[in-house]
Chains A and B, each alone.
Chain A
């Protein structure tokens, strides 16, 4: 059964008779929707715009003005948001803009009346002469929402992927819309019928050949020890990193938050599911990091080889720490491992408060192979990047354990 929905009733003819007569005899035109647009560009509100052709009678002193009744039921229309705008008048089979005649619009809204206890309103509309008018009724509606989702398909080498962005429309508004124009605020506009209690998933954009960077990240303080057997190891997390810019075949618009399902080509024409993650809002030029899971073929062990307290004066001291990372790459490809050092946590480990972000300086015993970056997470969380070669091709050759030293002095602790 079709749910009762918004309706427009033109009661112009009712006014011409005496009140006692028209109370018993009703004549009303029911203008159908000519066009519907669903505007989803505002994340919090959904705007519906519908156009109808409304027949109007000439406003006269005797007959009064036209009255147009708009009512709805079982629909969450924000009553105060409803706008009624006459757009054009039909003349000779075509519509032309509304004219001003003697300084007045030939069709204009005089007022709106709201009956008590009802989802309805009545517009009083002046018409200089009887005509068919194209009007647009706009309103905000609840329970007609949108969300976004993505499907990423990486090539077998994990160098590029195809990212598809979908918009999912959920219509639980109580209203159904024949063929509605749907616009998300960017990308193409779609013409789709939107039924009641329907979920519609529409492909908004397809980004092909998007270069990806696969990252491996080790963060001891975020994840702790791997297990009791390997107390000095911790998780190595894998991410795909996509950059939302033109250089990376994207950069058309910000990418809204949504679930990303990640697949990979399996080399036999099929696909394998790699996992899924929630993508955050990714503005233009920003990175979208998609978590893939834990890497089992990249192993990293962290050993604090030395720590020494250098007293400065009173309870003030510098803490010198030498951390050794032992890394093995069992993969058949070279990888880059990013090791995050949380300086504030490191300082606290030695019984001191950094009193804000830790002040530190790199020691000269730090391995040359380490690239230190503070731009990604700020000075308190430097990222140490190291390149690891692929595992040896020779079956008898063991995987090399790469050792890197990170020498740091955290200054002015107490």
Chain B
């Protein structure tokens, strides 16, 4: 079944003539000259702009546009002449009741001849996403960072040689394009290719299409550049040249490339957030210093591999990152590390400062001595960050430099030598019952 949105020119349209046919049409099929896709990733919406050449006569003309089995929003379809714009005017747009997924434009023209027009509309089913791959060098100091855009076409339509623009940012839609497309009882198109045996055929067709495109376009001798530019609150990635993305297929192209990106490794112990063991983070920034910063990095999954120094890779971990603005930090949690051990132990406890009411204890203080120990079995020193929450009215004291992260969380940062051990002692006084006057930690002393 053909799914193409087409423009039909009703040659010699006689709007009210006695010989006007209701169900029998004679049409010509002007081809697309160019097509531009602007795909948003925050919503399932793509702005399609295509140019075609049509022939008009002086006076009234009719142009028919149809989009069978696609996910086009009928309310968004517009046409505008690119030539002789002052002589051509769209008088009205009619959606015929008997013909779903059709519309007819009535065109008043003072010009006769070939005219280039631009048809634009919103469609659903074209999406894109980002993913990233990092390969860290064996000493874990620098990484090769790559970002890839992947464009998915499940729109029901095939866009050959399309200029592809990808919008990074969040937009507001009051209605979903797919809902608008279905509103007139249009079924949602399924992928055109049956699973299994047809793939080779489709691959061959795709290759044929690509081959045709290759003959028209200069040869791609390197991955196509993705041009990035800011646009209001958004960022636009434009794929160099044109791309053919068959219906049902997706295509992945490199969009970000940075080599020798320095990064930091930090171990974080936050039992309330990451569980009972310290977790290992790789940190770097989306900025010039880290050979990035050309554009924001859209949401996507980061996979981190390490060159294991034995002619192979090791998989360190993966994480979904959220949109990273320019100059913002990128954090990837690689999970716990068997070579870094954290233990905490309460060494003593003492209760004092009792308050009584009618002989019953109603307030007291509890003083505990704790020692946290970090053991690093790696061959490099590590940076360790400890955050620990204490609830209630707490007085906190440690010989080591400690700050408050928030009203109930202390934070201490310290290095641990290679194959070394570091102890973090502290004394915690918690006021209970009527002795508790606040709900916060008060740091008594910090170096």
Q: Which A residues lie within 8 Å of B328 (CB)?
A: none
Contact with A along B259-288 (1 / 0, CB 8 A): 000000000000000000000000000000
Contact with B along A349-371 (1 / 0, CB 8 A): 00000011111000000000000
Q: Do B366 and A356 touch (CB < 8 A)?
A: yes
Inter-chain CA distance A80–B335, complex, in Å, is: 20
**Residues from 1 to 50 in A contacting B, C-beta threshold 8 Å:** 11, 14-15, 19-20, 22-23, 37, 39, 41-42, 44-45, 47, 49
Q: Do A23 and B204 touch (CB < 8 A)?
A: yes
Q: Which B residues lie within 8 Å of A112 (CB)?
A: 251-253
CB distance from B128 to the nearest CB of A (A): 13
Q: Which B residues lie within 8 Å of A234 (CB)?
A: none
**Residues from 227 to 266 in B contacting A, C-beta threshold 8 Å:** 247-254
Contacts A59-B219, A122-B203 hold; do A315 and B361 have CB atoms under 8 A apart? Answer: yes
Name which residue of chain B comes closest to A104, CB basis: B222
Report which of B247, B317, B358, B377 forms a contact with A283, defined as CB distance below 8 A.
B377
Inter-chain CA distance A19–B244, complex, in Å, is: 16
Judged by a CB distance under 8 angstroms, whether B195 is at the interface is yes
Contacts A49-B313, A64-B219 hold; do A414 and B361 have CB atoms under 8 A apart? Answer: yes
**Residues from 299 to 329 in B contacting A, C-beta threshold 8 Å:** 301, 303, 305, 308, 310, 312-317
Contact with B along A120-158 (1 / 0, CB 8 A): 101010101000000000101000000000000000000
Inter-chain CA distance A18–B136, complex, in Å, is: 43
CB distance from A42 to the nearest CB of B (A): 5
Contacts A14-B204, A15-B211 hold; do A47 and B313 have CB atoms under 8 A apart? Answer: yes
Q: Do A115 and B349 touch (CB < 8 A)?
A: no
Name which residue of chain B comes closest to A17, CB basis: B211
CB distance from B157 to the nearest CB of A (A): 14
Q: Which A residues lie within 8 Å of B212 (CB)?
A: 19
Inter-chain CA distance A253–B303, complex, in Å, is: 25
CB distance from B161 to the nearest CB of A (A): 14
Contacts A81-B303, A412-B351 hold; do A114 and B375 have CB atoms under 8 A apart? Answer: no
**Residues from 397 to 447 in B contacting A, C-beta threshold 8 Å:** 432
Q: Which of B8-16, B26-34, B84-92, B337-345 contacts A (4 or more CB under 8 A)?
A: B337-345
Q: Do A284 and B199 touch (CB < 8 A)?
A: no
Judged by a CB distance under 8 angstroms, whether B111 is at the interface is no
Report which of B223, B249, B354 forms a contact with A113, defined as CB distance below 8 A.
B249
Q: Do B308 and A114 touch (CB < 8 A)?
A: no
Report which of A115, A254, A315, A379 forms a contact with B202, defined as CB distance below 8 A.
A115
Judged by a CB distance under 8 angstroms, whether A67 is at the interface is yes
CB distance from B104 to the nearest CB of A (A): 33
Contact sample, A vs B, 30 pairs, CB 8 Å cutoff: A15-B211, A39-B312, A44-B335, A47-B314, A59-B219, A60-B219, A61-B215, A62-B214, A64-B211, A64-B214, A65-B219, A69-B203, A108-B222, A110-B222, A113-B249, A115-B203, A115-B249, A116-B202, A117-B191, A117-B194, A128-B221, A138-B313, A183-B312, A315-B359, A355-B364, A355-B366, A355-B432, A356-B349, A357-B346, A359-B351
Going nearest first, the 3 A-B pairs with the smallest beta carbon separation are A116-B248, A19-B208, A314-B359
List chain A positions with a Cβ less than 8 A from chain B.
Answer: 11, 14-15, 19-20, 22-23, 37, 39, 41-42, 44-45, 47, 49, 59-62, 64-65, 67, 69, 71, 80-81, 83, 104-105, 108-118, 120, 122, 124, 126, 128, 138, 140, 181, 183, 185, 189, 253-254, 256, 281, 283-286, 312-316, 355-359, 374-375, 378-380, 411-412, 414
Additional A-B contacts beyond A124-B210, A183-B312, A281-B338 (17; CB < 8 A): A19-B207, A39-B313, A59-B219, A60-B219, A110-B224, A112-B253, A113-B206, A116-B247, A117-B248, A118-B195, A118-B199, A285-B341, A355-B364, A356-B366, A358-B349, A374-B347, A414-B361
